[in-house]
Amino acid sequence: MKIGILTSGGDCPGLNAVIRGFAKYAFNQIKDVELIGISDGYLGLITKDVKKMQPSDFSGILNVGGTILGTSRQPFSKMTDEDRNGQSKLDLMKKNYKALGLDLLVTLGGAGTHKTAALLSYEGLNVIGIPKTIDNDIFGTDVTFGFHTAVDIATECIDRIHTTAASHGRTMLIELMGNKVGWLTLYAGIAGGADIILLPEIPYDPDTVVKMVKRRYESGKDFTIIAIAEGAMSIAESKMKKSERLASRGGRATGTEGLARYIEENAGVETRVVVPGHLQRGGSPSPYDRLLSTEMGSFAGHLANDGVFGVTVAMHGSQVTYNALADIAGKMKFVPKDDQRIAVARTIGISFGDDR
């Protein structure tokens, strides 16, 4: 069996651990297996940038961050026409899949990667996906690999900000990754003891945030910790088109700095913004993610061995399983407003900026 494997979209801790889990399963369990590493995501399949991998290539990478295969963001609609030669991107990938003699393509990636994986499987290619992302937003799986490592890192950031905020009596906004969904901010916010958590799914009222900060000061707490997702928006911003929102923020991609200035002016407290950014995606996966990645990678190998294609690996409870790509592609797993963790947070006085 000749299997191509690629990693696509933003990197995250655990990619190498999944690649290793899959490869070790394949070399140990699948007859006459050949593994072809495809460079830089779907781009490598379009340009036929590939390399035959040896078992030794997968040694010593369990705890290594990033991806040994390289990755790129190539949303289907945004790819250039350079290599097209009159063909669609799908045609090119299909052609190269056949030219390489692949029996299966394994794709490690997020929502965009799964959308493309589904399109390729509709074209008749054998595809197995594995759900990666620190955002934890892939539909149909309780958890994606990389998420919990990012939660660990983001929580440590909040912990560190906590002590300096308390020392100076400042309000600190920690802007965490998550453009469309707030899982990372929700988990790290609660784990880091944030006073206010602002998510893309719950538009906030800036005056409610100010009121909360003031209330803390009045009760003798002279610092406030706000965990805010990059995609969080005020109620007013949530009614705007993306371009209007960008203009109203003076060209800034997020509303964090604007909210900080609003708090400073209206609550009269020194307010600072911290953006951990790509630190949340870098470095070694946590033991939890190493285990999850190994389970997901080896399970994908098991699916390959059984000839189960057009699917993506998923975790339901503590059971590793799979979903049909057709059932999950194009969907996202948002934080539901009635999520249990949100309810718990509210009971202990954490504000989501929507209460009064």
Q: Where are the beta strands (DSSP E) in 152-258?
A: 171-176, 196-198, 224-229
Q: Is 110 in the site for ligand F6P (CB under 6 A)?
A: yes
Minimum CB–partner distance for residue 137 and ligand F6P (Å): 8
Cβ(351)–Cβ(210) below 8 Å = no
Tell me, rounded to whole angstroms, the distance of Cα 173 from its chain centroid: 21
The helix/strand/coil state of 174 is strand
Q: d(Cα 188, Cα 194) in Å, to the nearest integer? A: 8
Which of 92, 134 has the CB closer to ligand F6P? 134
Interacting span for ligand F6P (CB under 6 A) from 29-37, 91-99, 133-141, 167-175 = 133-141
Q: What is the DSSP string of 2-37?
A: EEEEEE-SS--TTHHHHHHHHHHHHHHHSTT-EEEE
Least Cβ distance, residue 255 to ligand F6P (angstroms): 14
Residue 135 in contact with ligand F6P, rule: CB under 6 A: yes
The 268-307 contact track toward ligand F6P, x by CB under 6 A, reads -------------x--------------------------
Q: How far is the CB of 185 from ligand F6P (least distance, A)?
A: 10
134 binds ligand F6P (CB under 6 A): yes
34 DSSP β-pair partners: 2
Contact window for ligand F6P (CB under 6 A) among 127-135, 296-304, 325-333, 334-342: 127-135
Nearest-5° angle of CA 156, CA 10, CA 80? Answer: 155
| Ramachandran quadrant class, 290 (left: phi over 0; alpha: psi -120 to 50; beta: rest) | alpha
Q: Which of 66, 140, 178, 182 binds ligand F6P (CB under 6 A)?
A: 178
| Contact string (CB under 6 A) for ligand F6P, positions 7-46, x = contact | ---x------------------------------------
Least distance to ligand F6P from the beta carbon of 107, Å? Answer: 15
CB atoms near residue 195 (< 10 Å): 20
| 246 binding ligand F6P? (CB under 6 A) | no
User: Phi and psi of 277, rounded to 5°?
Assistant: 50, -130
Task: State which residue, 35 or 154, has the beta carbon closest to ligand F6P.
Answer: 154
Residue placing its CB nearer to ligand F6P in the complex, 131 or 301: 131
Nearer to ligand F6P, 24 or 114 (CB): 114
Contacts of 80 (CB under 8 A, 6+ apart): none
Using CB under 6 A as the binding criterion, the count of chain residues that bind ligand F6P stands at 11
Task: Indicate the SS3 state at residue 188.
Answer: helix
Which helix (H) or strand (E) is 109 found in, with range? Answer: strand 104-109
| Residues known to be catalytic | 135
* Closer Cβ to ligand F6P, 110 or 301, answer by number: 110
Stretch binding ligand F6P (CB under 6 A), from 171-179, 250-258, 262-270, 325-333: 171-179
Binding flag, residue 177, ligand F6P (CB under 6 A): yes
Told to check if 230 binds ligand F6P by CB under 6 A, we report yes
How many Å apart are CA 21 and CA 243, to the nearest integer? 43
- The contact pattern for ligand F6P, residues 70-109, with x = CB under 6 A and - = no contact, is ---x------------------------------------
State how far the Cα of 349 lies from the Cα of 345, in Å rounded to an integer: 7
d(CA 206, CA 210): 6
Cα(251)–Cα(156) distance, rounded to whole angstroms?
30
Stretch that binds ligand F6P, among 154-162, 173-181, 215-223, 266-274 (CB under 6 A): 173-181
Q: Would you say 294 and 25 are in contact if contact means Cβ atoms under 8 Å apart? A: no
Nearer to ligand F6P, 92 or 138 (CB): 138
Please state the length of the chain. 356
Footprint of ligand F6P (CB under 6 A): 10, 73, 110, 133-135, 177-179, 230, 281
